[in-house]
Amino acid sequence: MAKKNEEFVAHIAKRADDFPQWYTDLVLKTDMADYSDVKGCMVIKPYGYGVWELIQSEMDRRFKETGHKNAYFPLLIPESLLMKEAEHVEGFAPEVAWVTHGGKEELTERLAIRPTSETIFGSMYSKWIQSYRDLPMLLNQWCNVMRWEKSTRPFLRTSEFLWQEGHTVHATAEEAEEETVKMLNVYREFSENVLAIPVIVGQKSEKEKFAGAKHTYTMEAMMQDGKALQMGTSHNLGQNFAKSYDITFLDKDGVLKYGYTTSWGTSTRMIGGLIMVHGDDRGLVLPPKVAPVQVMILPIAQHKEGVLEKANEIFAELKTAGLRVELDDRENQSAGWKFNECEMKGIPVRLEIGPKDIEKGTVVLVRRDTFEKTFVPMESLATTVSQLLEDIHISLFEQAKQRRDERITSATDFETFKQGVQSGFVKAMWCGDSECEAEIKQKTGATSRCMPFDDEQEHLSDCCVHCGKPAYKMMYFAKAY
């Protein structure tokens, strides 16, 4: 069986040998996505889109619980509108794709394919908001965006990708800051309790913040190769966009004031993150809450009397209990082949039932994360499987957290820093100077990821790990996707 297993996954690179190729192999061979005819764009196949739909469902519920409503804004943005916020335009200019013709006619004004939607939201908010009674305005949209990337990889970085982007307006700076932090915490809770991915949250440096923002907060996850992946960001935009797009309101004191805006977003990049955090050399390992199929029922010796009938009975029971379950009764594939396919596609639980199991009144449950096999009674099977799925989630999170924590280095000298970023995250004191930050990147390939919030800050030394100047704050550094 071990030899057959190796042959089954022979076309998947080993993580230890070539992690980027392993990742690409998993995306393609498990039917998550495929390359399209447009360079840098991908086709998300049903299995991958099923993961995205579950992510959408879980996040959308959280957004609505915090008072946000969904809307939809145009894909195309007039150039004049985009140019109103100078810093924002400068930050996105290299990545903007332009529409210059409508049919055979050249447009009088170029239209940008949205790289993000602060500008179009801002223009509409200036029309919709008149009074303090209109605030706060809390909107989100699920859509696609385009950024003309030079180097792409499915899910992680593509020219077109799917995401959600929240855009809000508030009466005071304090309310905008509260919103920015609140939504970052929504992301953090989602990452940990749905994706089973531990994250480090904090503030981006001035150099790494969102173009046009007052400041940017981020959540950073560590992949199995030690590199960082930015999983989501939340931006306090201050009054920059409000002043550029004339978002004003008449306050309670009768004075016309500018609003304070925020924006925050996550994308299909999270799918790439969960693949690289949880996958192994056998294939995907999907967290149960976003697995399109949580349980696969495999009838053994299904040609024998009563096997398929009992399998269908169990299928109906689990489906009625709200589990995402499928029954594989294909006759043209062997049981061993089906076992391997389940493992490669990362299905959390495999349920096997054959003639002997029926005689004993039991079924076989196999966990994808540990390959542990247990024999359990058919009675209260839905409850047993539900608890097993919860146990798998907890186990995946704890394993990912342990792997991450073991690869975080505290550095007070640059030699330790340079060694640490070769295999994981480094936390070190930093002077806050952008030139120093750029030199660190040039020398090590590592970028600043975030300054953790004050309650998670550590005082490692009084000096910057690189230049020796007085330290500003502790910063996490890492090589990143």
Q: Taking residues 451-464, report their average pLDDT.
A: 92
Q: What is the mean pLDDT of residues 253-282?
A: 98
User: pTM here?
Assistant: 0.94
Q: Identify the pLDDT of residue 104.
A: 96
pLDDT, mean of residues 444-468: 95
Please name which of 244, 154, 237, 243 lies closest in space to residue 481, comparing C-alpha atoms. Answer: 154
CA 45 to chain centre: 18
Average pLDDT over residues 39-43: 94
Number of residues in the chain: 481
- Is the distance from CB of 110 to CB of 145 less than 8 angstroms? no
Question: Six-digit token pair at 261?
Answer: 């805006």
Helix (H, G, I), strand (E, B) or coil at 119: helix
pLDDT of 4 above 70: no
Q: What gap in Å lies between CA 215 and CA 203, rounded to an integer?
A: 7
Check whether 7 has a pLDDT greater than 70. Answer: no
Q: Average pLDDT for residues 71-83, to the nearest whole number?
A: 95
What was the pLDDT predicted at 94? 86
Whole-angstrom Cα distance, residue 153 to residue 42? Answer: 9
> Collapsing DSSP states into helix, strand and coil, what is residue 76?
strand
Percent share of the chain, pLDDT over 90: 91
Contact yes or no for 296/347 (Cβ under 8 A): yes
* Lowest-pLDDT choice from 15-29, 128-142, 260-274, 301-315: 301-315
Count CB neighbours of 47 within 10 A: 17
User: What pLDDT sits at residue 5?
Assistant: 52
Q: Give the pLDDT mean for 226-252.
A: 97
Q: What is the pLDDT of residues 346-386, one digit of tens each?
A: 999 999 999 999 999 999 999 999 999 999 999 999 999 99
- 2 pLDDT more than 60: no
3-state SS class at 202: strand
Q: In this predicted model, what pLDDT tens digit does every residue of 145-188 receive, in sequence order?
A: 999 988 899 999 999 999 999 999 999 999 999 999 999 999 99
Cβ atoms of 140 and 63 within 8 Å: the answer is yes
Question: Pick from 263, 276, 34, 23: which is nearest to 145 by CA?
Answer: 263
**What's the whole-number average pLDDT of the chain?**
95
* Cis? peptide before 136, omega within 30° of 0: yes
Digit-coded pLDDT (tens) for 400-419: 999 999 999 999 999 999 99
Res. 1: pLDDT tops 70 = no
34: pLDDT strictly greater than 80: yes
Domains belonging to the chain, first-starting first, are 9-278 (3.30.930.10), 293-388 (3.40.50.800), 408-478 (3.30.110.30)
Backbone phi and psi for residue 274, each to the nearest 5 degrees, phi listed first: -70, -30
pLDDT of residue 89: 75
pLDDT digits (tens, 9 = 90+) for 187-235: 999 999 999 999 999 999 999 999 999 999 999 999 999 999 999 999 9
Tens digit of pLDDT for each residue in 283-327? 999 999 999 999 999 999 888 989 999 999 999 999 999 999 999
- R_g of the chain computed on alpha carbons: 25
Per residue in 78-120, pLDDT (tens digit) is 999 988 877 777 878 889 999 999 999 999 999 999 999 999 9
As a whole number of angstroms, the distance between CA 248 and CA 129 comes to 7
Q: What is the pLDDT of residue 184?
A: 98
